[in-house]
Amino acid sequence: MTQQDIQASSDFIREIIDEDIKINKHSGKVATRFPPEPNGYLHIGHAKSICLNFGIAKQYKGTCNLRMDDTDPAGESLEYVDSIIQDVRWLGFDWEDRLFYASDYFEALYAFAIQLIKAGKAYVCSLTADEIREYRGTLIEPGQESPYRNRSIEENLDLFARMRAGEFEDGTHVLRAKIDMASPNIVMRDPVIYRIKHAPHYRTGNKWVVYPMYDFAHCLSDSIENITHSICTLEFENNRPLYDWIVNQLIDKNRPRQIEFARLNVSYTVLSKRRLIELVENKYVAGWDDPRMPTIAGMRRRGYTPDAIRNFCGKIGVAKNENLVDVSLLEACVRDDLNEKAPRAMAVLRPLIVIIDNYPDGQIEKIKCANHPQNPEMGTRTVPFSKRLFIEREDFEENPPKKYKRLAPGKEVRLRNAYVIRFERLIRDEKTGEISAIHCTYAPETLNGPPSDDRKVEGVIHWVSADQAIQAEIRLYDRLFNVPNPAAYEGEFTTSLNNNSLEVVTDAYVEASLKNSAPGNSYQFERLGYFCVDIKDSSPNKPVFNRIVPLRDSWGKIAGR
């Protein structure tokens, strides 16, 4: 392990764990959990938490459970559970047989609640929701005790049993922890721990009409699972005293410890569940797996790799600072991974026809191309070459700017993997005035080497053989929003949506070797970027490629300024 790896893999949470191991807390064991609520799809922010929790478990030879935190039937569903399972697995993590559901603990949690009542530490409160809010006080004023606070244990037990039995309407009673209505921490002002909800749960059906609240269920679920380090995000810091309070009342050994870290934000996108749902429901995107979405499903379809995402999660670090990570770091990780793994191919997005005047009519040459210029082990393929080719429209300029290295009147360029060609003349569409074809000549000796007189040819452009190339649809994706931090945007966040985040190119051509490429396969289209065969819409008859990320383009920068 290099110095860099050591530094990259340490953070304040691991330091805490190191300390705990040193004092032999939990007999030196480490057990974490990733606890999503199945009411939405996982996104890159969850990926950070997944990498953290599973990463720590692996590093310390401990375990990480996958737990559905499904204590509120509203909005939770099997569809989300399935997607979560698929996404965590796709990211490369394994919880073995430890897939758990908070809803499986309902009976145990109910028993814990009774225990709390019996200890005189919880009571049934019959105030309305509005009244409870009023009694809670404000940030600067203490709350008032509920008139129901001193009900007898027997009455509480009876009422709580009848709550479970379904005798009461929603909102008529709740179970509250008896803590301190004057606490400066509002969370501690007799928090509600059970509420009545006559709503079917996607797993327990109609068995329950009372459901535990997060603060009650989470710490006890952790305890039930013998979690040692319960890692969550910063907004739960206020809840930690309550977490500890409940655990201290009900658990007497191996109490878990909650540790909070800063959630991830990424520039030019949104990561809050509410906003993501809005994008999907109002059809700003095509679904949870729209390649522009920061969801795991979206990134998977876009062609991002698990390795790239995991690497990104390692690079951003773990701390308690509010952050807005530059999306270019994510893109750099994707390029980094794909540069190594993606075989090269050629494709032309905006075709311009080139006719090689001195190339024999009807001849088709099989040109051997390396699948990866730096890695011979990736082998070679054969690409047809003929008299009629497509090149990229922007690779020809009638009046080239300075430093332009591509094809232009009087100039030569190298066709990638093939010959050097020289511009001869251009054909113009009489009606539109647009250039409709370019005539060139080729230098036959240049296939595997420089021109015979060693004259220098600077530019290299990509091409496909016009008659053998396969027509394809190529979807060019760009960032979803125009502003770095859409969540902070004054007004409706959707107004800063990038209207050009998807451009569909229907008349693109890819080289013939891509004919039967499997959905999900990724390639580098040379000089353009990384592309993958769309897993949903692509078919052999109508191939569809997604642009995963463009190549770094230093010419674009020069030309753009």
Partner RNA sequence: UGGGGCGUCGUCAAGCGGUAAGACACAGGCCUUUGGAGCCUGCAUUCGGAGGUUCGAAUCCUCCCGCCCCAGCCA
Contact by Cβ (8 Å): 414, 457:
yes
The yes-or-no answer on residue 273 being catalytic is yes
Using the 8-state DSSP alphabet, how is residue 264 labeled? P
By beta-carbon proximity to RNA, the closer residue of 162 and 315 is 315
Sole window of 87-95, 280-288, 356-364, 520-528 interacting with RNA (rule: CB under 7 A): 520-528
Please identify which residue in 62, 92, 171, 409 interacts with RNA, judged by CB under 7 A.
171
Sole window of 179-187, 222-230, 357-365, 428-436 interacting with RNA (rule: CB under 7 A): 179-187
The answer to the question of residue 557 lying near RNA (CB under 7 A) is yes
The answer to the question of residue 227 lying near RNA (CB under 7 A) is no
Strands (E), 325-411: 344-345, 347-348, 351-356, 365-370, 380-385, 388-392
Opening angle at CA 241, ends 177 and 67, nearest 5: 85
Which of these is catalytic: 263, 320, 341, 416?
263
Interhelix angle 44-59/12-22, nearest 10 degrees: 30
Interhelix angle 327-341/306-316, nearest 10 degrees: 140
Q: Residue 147: how many CA atoms within 13 Å on its side-chain side?
A: 5
Neighbour-count burial for 405-434, b at 16+ CB within 10 Å, e otherwise: bbbbeebbbbbebbbbbbbeebeeeeeeee
Contact by Cβ (8 Å): 483, 497:
no
Nearest approach, Cβ of residue 518 and RNA (Å): 21
- For tokens 């064991």, what's the residue? 29
Strands (E), 178-301: 192-196, 210-212, 229-233, 257-261
Using the 8-state DSSP alphabet, how is residue 400 labeled? P
Please identify which residue in 5, 170, 429, 445 interacts with RNA, judged by CB under 7 A.
170
For 287, the token pair is 């679904």
By beta-carbon proximity to RNA, the closer residue of 98 and 136 is 136
Sole window of 7-15, 377-385, 474-482, 512-520 interacting with RNA (rule: CB under 7 A): 7-15
By beta-carbon proximity to RNA, the closer residue of 205 and 449 is 449
The answer to the question of residue 33 lying near RNA (CB under 7 A) is no
Q: Considering only residues 183 through 202, tell me which ones interact with RNA, judged by CB under 7 A.
A: 184-187, 191-192, 195-197
Which of these is catalytic: 273, 320, 388, 393?
273
Q: Considering only residues 43 through 102, tell me which ones interact with RNA, judged by CB under 7 A.
A: 69, 71-72, 74
Contact by Cβ (8 Å): 404, 397:
yes
The answer to the question of residue 181 lying near RNA (CB under 7 A) is no
The answer to the question of residue 460 lying near RNA (CB under 7 A) is yes
The yes-or-no answer on residue 89 being catalytic is no
By beta-carbon proximity to RNA, the closer residue of 32 and 290 is 32
SS3 336: helix
Please identify which residue in 53, 417, 465, 522 interacts with RNA, judged by CB under 7 A.
417
Please identify which residue in 114, 181, 437, 447 interacts with RNA, judged by CB under 7 A.
447
By beta-carbon proximity to RNA, the closer residue of 186 and 277 is 186
Q: Considering only residues 533 through 552, tell me which ones interact with RNA, judged by CB under 7 A.
A: 551-552
Whole-angstrom distance, CA of residue 139 vs CA of residue 170: 28
Give residue 419's identity as a one-letter amino acid code.
Y
Question: E strand or H helix at 177, and its extent?
Answer: strand 174-177
Q: Are strands 192-196 and 344-345 parallel, antiparallel or unpaired?
A: unpaired
Contacts of 436 (CB under 8 A, 6+ apart): 353, 427, 428, 429
Q: Considering only residues 259 through 278, tell me which ones interact with RNA, judged by CB under 7 A.
A: 262, 267
By beta-carbon proximity to RNA, the closer residue of 361 and 453 is 453
The answer to the question of residue 140 lying near RNA (CB under 7 A) is yes
The mark string for 463-502 relative to RNA (x by CB under 7 A, - otherwise) is: ----------------------------------------
Sole window of 82-90, 283-291, 521-529, 534-542 interacting with RNA (rule: CB under 7 A): 521-529
Which of these is catalytic: 37, 331, 392, 526?
37
> In this structure, what are the phi and psi dihedrals at residue 392, rounded to the nearest 5 degrees?
-70, 130
Residue 509: alpha-carbon gap to chain centroid? 30
The yes-or-no answer on residue 263 being catalytic is yes
Sole window of 153-161, 208-216, 378-386, 531-539 interacting with RNA (rule: CB under 7 A): 208-216
Q: Considering only residues 304 through 333, tell me which ones interact with RNA, judged by CB under 7 A.
A: 315-326, 328-329, 331-332
The answer to the question of residue 129 lying near RNA (CB under 7 A) is yes
Please identify which residue in 98, 136, 149, 388 interacts with RNA, judged by CB under 7 A.
136
Q: Active-site positions?
A: 37, 263, 273
